[in-house]
Structure 1
Amino acid sequence: MSQSLKFYSFIFCLSLILSSIQTFAQKLSAYDLTIDMLDNPLNIDNAKPGFSWKINSNKKNTYQTRYDIRVSNTPSFKKIIWQQSNANQQSVFVRYNGEKLASKTKYFWQVRLKDNHGNTSAWSEIKYFQTGLKPEDWQAKWITVQGKDTSSIIPFLRKQFALKKDVKSATAYITAKGLYEANLNGARISSDYFTPGWTSYKNHIQYQAYPITTLKKGQNVIAVSLGDGWYKGRIGFSNQSKFYGDTRALLLQIDVEYTDGTKEIVISDDSWKSTNGPILASNIYDGETYDARKELNGWDNLGYKESDNWKQVRILENGPEKLVGMSGPAVNKHEEFKALKIFKTPLGETIIDFGQNMVGWVKVTANGNSGTKITLSHAEVLDKNGNFYTTNLRSAKQQNNYILKGKGTEIFEPHFSFQGFRFVKVDGYPGELKLENFTAIAVYSSMSPTGNFTTSNPLLNQLQHNIQWGQKGNFVDVPTDCPQRDERLGWTGDAQAFANTAAYNMDVSSFFTKWLKDVSADQLPNGSVPYVIPNVLNQSDAGSAGWADAATIIPWSMYQSYGDKNILETQYQSMQKWVDYMASQAKDNLWNTGSHFGDWLFYRPNDDNDGRAAVTDKYMIAQTFYANSVQLLINTSKVLGKTEEVKKYTALLNNVKKAYVQEYMTPSGKLVSNTQTAYVLALQFDMLPENLRQQAAKRLVDNVKSYGNHLTTGFLGTPYLCHVLSRFGYQDVSYNLLLQESYPSWLYPVKMGATTIWERWDGIKQDGSFQTADMNSFNHYAYGAIGDWMYKNIAGICSIEENPGYKVFEIAPKPGGKLTSATGELETVYGKIKSSWEIANGVFKLNVTVPVNATAIVTLPGKDKKEKIGSGSYSFESKYKY
């Protein structure tokens, strides 16, 4: 071969290689495939689940032009039960529309995509989902201990059974009245805690489905312990217990398929036996007492011989409650914190500091004599003298006791209790306390982190940290108000105030989907919504403005965050019932009746002689939330195509706003309550005529300045305060409030050493003393709602109402407060959005990342021009000076 021919052959081969590399680099693929935002779920109850996927492509401005989806009941896809091809951009919540799905059946699915550049992907990886059980599929019986279930001791239940053949696959379906932990052949079936979760038990109880891989031919042992939990244990106020029932019970069914295709079912029935174990007590508020001397070694495995103490269980009759598949994320262990220091207080107490206020428990390792009792007490803060402070826990003991068996190294973790704490007081520990013998474990619902936010200001970064940890600590199966005292309830007002921020920080789609089912279930027949969900208070404890509005605010917030119309369809009746309830209570369109919390925990100075307490008329507040819920119902009706309802509620909204103006505004535009919250809510919900809104904003600003650039808002005004100021051109005032370091402000607790959000602006006063002990939580997320403003204004990541789920979104950072840089990230249903900027030498530099199949509209600070960009990474510059 000639040299020239060799050269051209080389060039040709090289071009083929480069072409292949380029083709590979631009390869189109689908990833992160989910069903109803869940990864390979095992108990789908939805008849038309939603398929979603994200798209990989290294080429800019890529969007999907076509998708093919296929579903089969075999991983080989030999039999297709549903397939669909559509020439559109939809890549989230494509609803199943095939033949009726069979119960407790595994289905497999894939997608294949085409993009606007002519690329076609290969079929994606195979994902699966499994349908849940219909009522007739349950063969298991509810079982409980013999006699009345009156003891605080945790019962142990077990059954040894034989399988005749080799096992191909198995699924365990488990639930309980109370809480359960299940073991199979000596090992936990799952890493989940506090199952089956807290729901409106009188209406429905969740069950979990777990794949079982440790079953074998021959003998096996299934073993379960049952805790009181929210079902039977102490819950709510007035020291009430047994709210849902007085008997703990188990319902368990294992569906087994053998390698030869035959099937068998193992169930809970009267062949099981039970006895007491070493857990003498374990409940939500008070903690756990564990006596290792009473351990039943090997009770959950083969080879254990049951003594005469093991009694036959009894069958418990079925109740009226429905069994539903688990729809929210499970509670699991997460971060671990090593003990930072051990010290003595002025009172001589031995304290361990873990450095972070958290929710979970402490794992302790010890060696000592049999009968030695170790007591761990938990607290969030120390008092001004440096002593252990638990008065704010009210009657909750938050105390774990461990009695050693005296045989080598022993490790203790509680089973059916959790604590809210940073500091732990240790009593009775044998020998020298060592840091390495104590580990704090954070426990919360497994919501994927989605958002991150940092700035050039360390105090703001700590505030963001505190917001995230407030969310973690209070999102333990339900959105609680606090995680430490004798309350820990699903307060609706806190949840609605924080919902937007929650959706930035973590994927809360399934978390709120699950909780909203309980909002519907516990909603009163007249449409009123209880203060707490699940409702463990009185029936009359319902209908407070800004609390009950969780029924409308959160479904709309979730729709905006994730773009799934199904949540609006599911919650529509509940939303409508709440709005109709308010209408029924109003007279001449004015809602001025009922009991309301108002702007909870607003600013009240210690000396109120000057009349500076920021008191806002509660009925005035109620009218604004009335209007807002009507507006959200109108929005929802439009999305769902309910034209008659749009007309009906639009007319109602006009009347509600007219009634507000007539009752609460003077002709010149001054409001009856001259407070920040009054003006914030009037402006946020567009209660005022357009020609009077700007002057109202000026009144708001004057009020802020009259308090020395401090906020005075409570739970209802705070989430919207900075949003309203920014909307009406007072971005500088928003930053002044955000960066205010003295009380009352967001940064005051940060300066005081907070690692979570406080319930009160001055939970710890400037002199080191505490606010009133009966209501002073140091882990309360409501005021963390400022996170929504920070993501939208500092990072500039904003959703667009007409394009929910960030299909089209805005990047419009608004620098201020002398910040020199900020970075925000958000993992959306389309992929990761990133907005990162810095200011140096009078130049504003912005870097933006847009996920595939989405579009961003970028606006630089001080500019009116908007630039529309597709997927990829971009850089922008403009001149900027503070």
Structure 2
Amino acid sequence: MLTIQNVTLNYAPELHGVESMPVVGWAINSDRKNVEQTSWQLQLSRDAAFSQIVFDSGKVADDRSQNITLSGIELAPSVWYFVRVKISDNHGQQSDWSEAAGFISGLPGDQWQAEFISVEGPEEKDSSKGTLLRNTFAIEDAAEVASVIVHASALGLYKLYVNGQKVGQDELAPGWTSYHHHLLYQTYDLTALVTVGDNAIAASVGAGWYKGDMSFNRKRNYYGDRTAFICQIVVTLRDGSQRRYGTDASWLGTDSPVLFSEIYDGEVYDARREIPGWHSVDCDTARWRQAEVVAGNKGVLHAQGASTVQAIDTLAPQALIVTPRGETVIDFGQNLTGWVAFRVRGRAGDKVTLRHFEVLDAEGNVYLDNLRTAKQRIDYTLSGAGEEAWHPSFTFQGFRYVHVECWPGEINAENFSAVVLHSQMASTGEFACSNPSLNQLHHNILWGLKGNFVDVPTDCPQRDERLGWTGDAQIFCRTASYLMQTRNFFAKWLRDLHYDQTAEGGVPHVVPDILSKKCDDNWLLSQGTHSAAAWADAAVINPWTLYLMYGDKEVLRQQYPSMKAWIEFMRAHAVDNKWSYKLQFGDWVALDAKEGSYFGATPNDLTCMAYYSWSTLLFAKAAKALGNQADYETYSALHRDIVDSFQREFFTPTGRLAARTQTAHILALYFNLVPDAFRARTIDTLVELLAEHDGHLVTGFVGTPYFCHALSENGRASEAWQLLLKDDFPSWLYQVKAGATTIWEHWDGIKPDGTMWSPDMNSFNHYAYGAIGEWLYRAAAGIDTDEEQPGFKHIRIKPVIGGDLTWLKARYRSGYGDIVVHWQVEPGGDTQRHVELRVTVPHNTRATVILPAECQLMATDNIAFSAINNECQATVGSGEYRFAYRL
């Protein structure tokens, strides 16, 4: 039986707000093997019953079931649309219509009649208080109403309410973007929340990233000095006509019980100041003041649609601790990002004070030093009205532990819970194996993603930083895209990267960029705030990675000018293809750095040229994918020139790489910069450098992500496994043995004696080194895509068996369906190992299974293998397969 499951719109199951026809995809279910789609038909309707069809593709002979783009469809604003699909396959079967996937169309900039409004005055530019705004609108005849849609955004952060109920599940909306160029609005369906007669619409507004106290510089008002709110309600009647209501000077406002709220420092809330029914129709507004229309560029408003920040999970306390210093501490057992929700009873004026932190010190006491100036503090004043339940609104904390500094009465752990916040992304990766430490490492990598993908890919979620460092995002992008569906998350962030590029094409160190022109007094960034190798290359590497993982040309098209501008920036600053520009981080915090330095021993000239080569190659491939033949030829030639310059600059005539560091050899190998005649020597030298440190890495941000790949792709899989499984300092598993639940910023964030790395830069939730997760999926499990047929339309399955593991199982939920690899190893009667490999290939894809050339096949599931490129290969269609062989 042939059926369709998981129809997606821009890779999401549903979209709330989209201004053009989304990319459509679907997965196929069948009880047969080798299923390939032969045709599809897609319909678009204004209603879920498909009685108002506005587009019908007819039967299209096409095998694509992902990345379907439909041109020429104009969407009416602020209404629901529904998409359904039916297909036929190569076995002569036809499906029924799929279940419909729905989306709400957005509101293009020229159709916004609403205005930005505020009840903050210019004199309150240094205030971090919250404000409330409200108005009413009327619904005359519910029977005539087809839908009530609202589009909302803010200069600051907002929460939206209708008739006393919070609208939607979003938090920290509208998120953080390059506000002057790119302000997102969210879209919600209010139909079920409104009634006949008057309806109240209200918003609570906070400072957030827009005007708050941000970055380690602790400066504020980066984008403006007044918060503001905007929303437009669109009532669509059954005859198709629309009525619109929006924010204007008729709205009323007042101060909220949020006395102070900042991203880093937490929130101060006085429940005694709560206004009963403030978001309901019957609120007494006699003391409210008139809102003021403020200047705001509605032309930069863009629909978000998906991947908003939400409360994703809730964790219960694991322990209530009294430290040696007598501090009462709640341990949630997991380092996370979010906030604490609590229930409390007491008298009016009683206080609750909570401090959030990541680790206990060597004596088991509260450790706050690594937060730097971030307070991560919650102060709540009780109203005294029975049991009170509360959590903050416009801040988030990075923590595992909470110090209860003040609490009325007895502290009971059952009154607390940790709410996990991150951008909403579907889970796509699962990994487990026979080594519990590796399983914990995978867990730590995943939670590092969760903790740092809060609207932007931050470096860390706890201290006074939490910035979108481009280097971290570039390093981790492929790993993140195995773990979760990151296409919409990164596509949004990459728009801001483009907007924040310099006129010359330079890419900021952080996106959104709040450091440029703000760091004159910073010891490091006064040297430059943009265009560092490996950091700025996120402009090219991240869009290309999304193309590989999702087959998505839309982000490539969106980012193509940005990608090209970055290549041209490097070319403009290059002499004989060796480029440099102001501050370069190099192999940041590598362990081969000089004492007291953050800069690794690998020369910046080498890292700059290596990444120049790599980004130019990827951009040439992007040009080819988009059909831009002229650019493909131009930048392919430039890439060849850079490689030639690199080899002349860094390789001696006898094949010695001039920079004798692990990272130099890793980059040369992984970026294919080694002359063929010298490859064996280069890999041998890398292994020697590894042995010189007793099998340990001494790499930093640049070398670490590629280390195991450089080994396993060059015939040294055993050394890659040995490196991964080291559990003493420095290693990934050292952190696991130390009790980590996320990835650390430093290999020895906590030293073997329990003391801490320098508190000025010692995050315990810093995902960059979690990039090893890519190797777990791509190499150990062997699930890889093919750039000629990206998005896993053609799958390469080439597991790297090793590490003394007896079994490993990984699952990746591609757009086509689940790809599963499960291998088991049993010692043979002789020196050989017996391997059983089970593979699941989703429908409408094909996979090439690649085994070692020296393997002895025992069971092939009637699949013929051939010797190709010194490997044993077979190509299969969809289905489940079992192979057995000896190694």
Question: What range describes the TM-score normalised by the shorter chain of this pair?
Answer: over 0.9
Query: Mapping of 1:343-354 within 5 angstroms?
Result: 343-354=321-332
Deviations 1:507-541 (A, max 9, x none): 00111111111111111110110000010011541
Residue 14 of structure 1 corresponds to: none
Contact 2:147/2:237 (CA < 8 Å) preserved in 1? yes
Q: CA RMSD in A?
A: 1.7
Deviation at 1:332, TM superposition (A): 0.8
Deviation at 1:263, TM superposition (A): 3.2
Residue 131 of structure 2 corresponds to: 155
1:599 matched to 2:592? The reply is no
Query: Mapping of 1:445-464 within 5 angstroms?
Result: 445-464=423-442
1:555 matched to 2:555? The reply is no
Shift of the 678–261 alpha-carbon distance from structure 1 to 2, 3 Å rule, reads closer
Residue 873 of structure 2 corresponds to: 866
Contact 1:293/1:403 (CA < 8 Å) preserved in 2? yes
Deviations 1:145-193 (A, max 9, x none): 1632443220011112332221331101000000000110010011100
Residue 585 of structure 1 corresponds to: 573
Query: Mapping of 1:642-657 within 5 angstroms?
Result: 642-657=628-643
Contact 1:82/1:99 (CA < 8 Å) preserved in 2? no
Query: Mapping of 1:133-144 within 5 angstroms?
Result: 133-144=107-118
Contact 2:335/2:358 (CA < 8 Å) preserved in 1? yes
1:28 matched to 2:12? The reply is no
Shift of the 132–162 alpha-carbon distance from structure 1 to 2, 3 Å rule, reads closer
Q: Give the aligned residue type for 1:850.
A: V
SS of the residue aligned with 2:18? coil
Q: Give the aligned residue type for 1:112.
A: K
**CA distance in structure 2 between the partners assigned to 1:606 and 1:575 by the alignment:** 34
Contact 1:73/1:81 (CA < 8 Å) preserved in 2? no
Contact 1:501/1:788 (CA < 8 Å) preserved in 2? yes
Pick one of 767, 783, 786 that aligns with 1:797.
Answer: 783
Deviation at 1:427, TM superposition (A): 1.6
1:756 matched to 2:729? The reply is no
**CA distance in structure 2 between the partners assigned to 1:759 and 1:69 by the alignment:** 48
Deviation at 1:442, TM superposition (A): 0.7
Deviation at 1:83, TM superposition (A): 1.4
Query: Mapping of 1:497-576 within 5 angstroms?
Result: 497-538=475-516, 540-576=528-564
Residue 61 of structure 1 corresponds to: 34
Residue 702 of structure 2 corresponds to: 716
Contact 1:69/1:112 (CA < 8 Å) preserved in 2? yes
Contact 2:593/2:600 (CA < 8 Å) preserved in 1? no
Deviation at 1:607, TM superposition (A): 6.9
Residue 69 of structure 2 corresponds to: 95
SS of the residue aligned with 1:43? strand
Contact 1:194/1:331 (CA < 8 Å) preserved in 2? yes
Contact 1:835/1:849 (CA < 8 Å) preserved in 2? yes
Residue 4 of structure 1 corresponds to: none
Moved more, 468-477 or 274-283: 274-283
Pick one of 439, 442, 462 that aligns with 1:484.
Answer: 462
Query: Mapping of 1:160-239 within 5 angstroms?
Result: 160-166=136-142, 167-212=145-190, 213-239=192-218
1:443 matched to 2:434? The reply is no
Deviation at 1:139, TM superposition (A): 1.1
Deviation at 1:133, TM superposition (A): 1.4
Deviations 1:630-655 (A, max 9, x none): 10011111111111112211221122
Deviation at 1:99, TM superposition (A): 4.0
SS of the residue aligned with 1:318? coil
Query: Mapping of 1:692-771 within 5 angstroms?
Result: 692-771=678-757
**CA distance in structure 2 between the partners assigned to 1:285 and 1:228 by the alignment:** 12
Shift of the 584–717 alpha-carbon distance from structure 1 to 2, 3 Å rule, reads same
Unaligned runs of 5+ in 1: 1-26
Shift of the 250–508 alpha-carbon distance from structure 1 to 2, 3 Å rule, reads same
**CA distance in structure 1 between the partners assigned to 2:594 and 2:755 by the alignment:** 13
Deviation at 1:107, TM superposition (A): 2.9
**CA distance in structure 1 between the partners assigned to 2:576 and 2:641 by the alignment:** 8
Contact 2:104/2:187 (CA < 8 Å) preserved in 1? no
Shift of the 643–105 alpha-carbon distance from structure 1 to 2, 3 Å rule, reads same
Residue 876 of structure 1 corresponds to: 883
Which ranges of 4 or more aligned residues in structure 1 deviate by more than 6 Å?
605-608
Shift of the 693–328 alpha-carbon distance from structure 1 to 2, 3 Å rule, reads farther
Moved more, 321-330 or 733-742: 321-330
Contact 1:467/1:781 (CA < 8 Å) preserved in 2? yes
1:379 matched to 2:357? The reply is yes
Shift of the 586–606 alpha-carbon distance from structure 1 to 2, 3 Å rule, reads closer
Moved more, 637-646 or 448-457: 637-646
Deviation at 1:567, TM superposition (A): 1.3
Residue 494 of structure 1 corresponds to: 472
1:683 matched to 2:669? The reply is yes
Q: Give the aligned residue type for 1:594.
A: K
SS of the residue aligned with 2:183? strand
Give percent identity, aligned residues only.
43
Query: Mapping of 1:5-404 within 5 angstroms?
Result: 27-46=1-20, 48-74=21-47, 75-145=49-119, 147-148=121-122, 149-150=124-125, 151-166=127-142, 167-212=145-190, 213-258=192-237, 262-308=241-287, 310-319=288-297, 322-404=300-382
Deviation at 1:815, TM superposition (A): 1.4
Moved more, 521-530 or 165-174: 165-174
SS of the residue aligned with 1:382? coil
Normalising by structure 2, report the TM-score.
0.94
Unaligned runs of 5+ in 2: 518-527, 829-833, 856-870
**CA distance in structure 1 between the partners assigned to 2:46 and 2:467 by the alignment:** 42
Contact 1:393/1:484 (CA < 8 Å) preserved in 2? yes
SS of the residue aligned with 2:15? coil
Residue 651 of structure 2 corresponds to: 665
Contact 1:586/1:593 (CA < 8 Å) preserved in 2? no
Residue 845 of structure 1 corresponds to: 836
Shift of the 328–494 alpha-carbon distance from structure 1 to 2, 3 Å rule, reads farther
**CA distance in structure 2 between the partners assigned to 1:210 and 1:327 by the alignment:** 10
**CA distance in structure 1 between the partners assigned to 2:595 and 2:374 by the alignment:** 32
Aligned length, in residue pairs? 850
**CA distance in structure 2 between the partners assigned to 1:587 and 1:479 by the alignment:** 33
SS of the residue aligned with 1:53? strand
Deviation at 1:367, TM superposition (A): 1.0
Q: Give the aligned residue type for 1:773.
A: P
Contact 1:230/1:284 (CA < 8 Å) preserved in 2? yes
Moved more, 773-782 or 165-174: 165-174
Residue 854 of structure 1 corresponds to: 845
SS of the residue aligned with 1:377? strand
SS of the residue aligned with 2:770? helix
Q: Give the aligned residue type for 1:280.
A: L
Contact 1:82/1:97 (CA < 8 Å) preserved in 2? no
**CA distance in structure 2 between the partners assigned to 1:798 and 1:720 by the alignment:** 15
**CA distance in structure 2 between the partners assigned to 1:730 and 1:305 by the alignment:** 74
Contact 2:588/2:600 (CA < 8 Å) preserved in 1? no
**CA distance in structure 2 between the partners assigned to 1:268 and 1:78 by the alignment:** 32
Moved more, 580-589 or 261-270: 261-270
Q: Give the aligned residue type for 2:773.
A: G
Deviation at 1:86, TM superposition (A): 2.3
**CA distance in structure 1 between the partners assigned to 2:801 and 2:579 by the alignment:** 40
**CA distance in structure 2 between the partners assigned to 1:485 and 1:88 by the alignment:** 51
Contact 1:593/1:619 (CA < 8 Å) preserved in 2? no
